[in-house]
Structures are given as structure tokens and as C-alpha cells.
Amino acid sequence: MTTIRSLTTRLQRVPLTRPWAADVASVGIVSTHVVRSDGAEGWGFSWSPQIGAPAVQALLAHDIGPACIGRSAAPGEAWQGLWEHLHEAGGGGITTIALAGLDLALWDAEARSAGVSVSQMVGRQRERVRAYGSGVNLHYPLDELLAQVQRWIDAGYDAVKIKVGKPDLAEDIDRVGAVRELLGPDRKLMIDANQRWDLDRATTSVDALSHHGLAWIEEPLRADDLLGHAELARRIDVPIALGENLHTVHRFADFLRAGAAHIVQPNIVRVGGITPFLRIAELAASHGAALHPHLLPELSGQLALALPDSAHEVLVEDVEDAGFGALGALADPSPVSIRDGSLTENDHLGLGLRFSPVLTGATARSRP
């Protein structure tokens, strides 16, 4: 059995070209490097935009690192045991975000040793997937928001998502109406409230905005409010999308069984890596729900290419000015390209996501 020999980490912050908020001008990356007992190497990462990256690195260094040595290096085989080992620190959140750093590196090592990309190893099903334009834009003045939407139109996107949740509903109505007018009737428009509403406010707001032809309303309520989302689903006709702040397959199952979500949006890092993401994709398909991965198109796009066909087309989220390649964070060319609103994969091995400078056994302090 090929086992894990060592795990090393490095914490770095990557400046954003366009800050997401006054206090979010960079994102935290914990680069990971794994060496297997057969000498194969893999590179992965954990990600947390503003809060928790040092805690993620500490968990990798002090708990995951010592516990993973000697366990199977085959992708997925060590995941459940390590999740159970970490469980007293929490079943999801910091623990699953940290686990992703190891899981991604193990998938990368396996694919690199086989001379293929991860999408090829999982089983690539298609050569391209559609992307939608997205932005952290609630704080933009209306003219700046419309300029952003026009950039997405010019770039060939046929679906876009904007933020809602202004204190005055009338302002949301004006902004969504102006965006719909610019988009025209044929492009999809999604809105994201980022947990800003309670049940009654969500009901009122969605009713007022729904005549603009909404493809979905994202995170209308507090992310863990299962009963609230189930009740809202009974009150409104717009599909509910959520999942970026759900961290385990068990929680996704709760929401799907309750009819509280029509569209699930797992973030591959937040759920713990590729291993649990594939389980969540199977779960969504079994419930007839659409799945659109949250953020990180250089990672999620590769997995989207490998998801089995289902009743729903998978969409990849492309946040303006936030791609790792565009931010200059990668040591190698980006593993994916997005042109004319579609994502395709470029030639690369493994995940093709090594952060600059590259973390190696020679340059990083061994952990444990």
C-alpha cells in the first residue's frame, strides 16, 4: 500500500485586484505539499478569503499532519478516518477546510503519477462547461454595477449573478430592474442575498423581484436555517440555491430531504476537497437537484468537466478579477481558460494548481 510520508504547508495572502469589501482586500491561501512513500509528490491548497487561514494552517500542521502519516495515499481512502479524528474540533468549517488541503494534494499526486489531469482521472465527461459572471458588488453604485454587467455581456456570458440585500427594498428593485433591462430577456439573471434576510423579508423581497425573471435566489436566509428555507420554498416560486456555507454531505442531505434547496453550490475547499464533493454531487443527482460549484473556477471547473450527465446543466461561477491566474498567484499557467462564456481545460498534470513560489520538500519546513 502506498502511504503518506510527509505533509508541508505555507500560508500566504494574495491581494485582490478589486476588493470584495473594505476589509477584504486579499484572500488567504494555505499551500500544501504531500510526498508519498513511493516518492510521488502532490500539491494542493486550502482557502479562506478573510477569516481563519492561520487556524487552517495550524490544524494542518498540528493535527492533520501527524495523523495522516502512514495512512493510505490513495485519493479518498484516508478522508473519513481523518474527519473522525478531527471531529471534536467540529464536524465542518475549519476542519473540513483544512482537510481539503491534504485531499487536493493526494488527488494531485495520484493524477501526476499517472501522467493525467485530475478531470481525466475522475473521468472527463465533456470538453467545456458554461460559466456565469459573478461579482461581490452590493456596494457598487448602480452605474458601476451596470458597467460590470456590460463587461460580462461583452465577454460572452449568457448568465450573470448580482448581490441584493440593500436596507431599502426599493433600491434592490431598481438595481435588479436595471440589470435585467441591460441583459435583455434571453440571458439568465441570478440574485444572491448572502444571508441578509429573515423569512418574512425574504418572502416580500423575492415576490417583488421575481417578475424580472430570476433563475434563482441564493442564500436568502441564514445559511444553517433549514426550517426557514423549507418554509420559504413553499412560499415562493423562484428556485432556492445554497451550499457555499454547508460543510458536509450530511448537511446537504438534510436540506435536500427537506425540500429546502433546489440548487446546491458546494465549495470544493469548504466541504473538504474532491472526495466529499463527488459524494455531494451524487447526492444532488439522486434528489434531482442542480449542482453549480461555488467559486474557484480553476478547481471547480475541472470537476465540472468530470461530473456525470444529469437532468441539469452544471454552471461554473467566475467572479470578476478573482481567478488565481489573473491574480498572479500561480507558478504555472492556469489549468483552465474561460472564453466566450465557456470554461475549457488546458493541458496540465494533476490539478495544475501550484502556488508561487512552489512549495516543495526542499523549500518548506517538514510537518510534522
Chain CA centroid to CA 255, Å: 18
Query: How many angstroms separate the CA atoms of 19 and 32, rounded?
Result: 25
Chain CA centroid to CA 130, Å: 15
Domains 4-116 and 121-345 alike in fold: no
- SS3 of residue 171 by DSSP: helix
Q: Which pLDDT does position 22 carry in this prediction?
A: 76
Query: How many angstroms separate the CA atoms of 142 and 5, rounded?
Result: 53
How many other CB atoms are found less than 10 A from the CB of residue 315?
23
Fold of 121-345: TIM Barrel (3.20.20)
Q: Which pLDDT does position 362 carry in this prediction?
A: 53
Query: How many angstroms separate the CA atoms of 180 and 74, rounded?
Result: 48
Using alpha carbons, select from 113, 19, 24 the residue that is nearest to residue 75: 113
Determine contact, residues 82/71, Cβ cutoff 8 Å.
yes
Nine-digit cell string for 261: 434547496
Domain residue ranges of the chain, discontinuous segments joined by +: 4-116, 121-345
HSE-CB at 162 with a 13 A cutoff on CA atoms is: 32
pLDDT tens by residue, the chain, 368 residues: 999 999 999 999 999 988 887 788 899 999 999 999 999 999 999 999 889 999 999 999 999 999 999 999 999 999 999 999 999 999 999 999 999 999 999 999 999 999 999 999 999 999 999 999 999 999 999 999 999 999 999 999 999 999 999 999 999 999 999 999 999 999 999 999 999 999 999 999 999 999 999 999 999 999 999 999 999 999 999 999 999 999 999 999 999 999 999 999 999 999 999 999 999 999 999 999 999 999 999 999 999 999 998 889 999 999 998 999 999 999 999 999 999 999 999 999 999 999 999 988 655 444 43
Look up the pTM and report it. Answer: 0.95
Nine-digit cell string for 177: 430592474
Query: How many angstroms separate the CA atoms of 158 and 128, rounded?
Result: 15
Query: How many angstroms separate the CA atoms of 176 and 210, rounded?
Result: 10
Residues identified as active-site: 163, 294
Query: How many angstroms separate the CA atoms of 5 and 266, rounded?
Result: 30
Domain 4-116 has CATH 3.40.50.20: no
Nine-digit cell string for 183: 441583459
Q: What are phi and psi of 141, to 5 degrees?
A: -60, 160
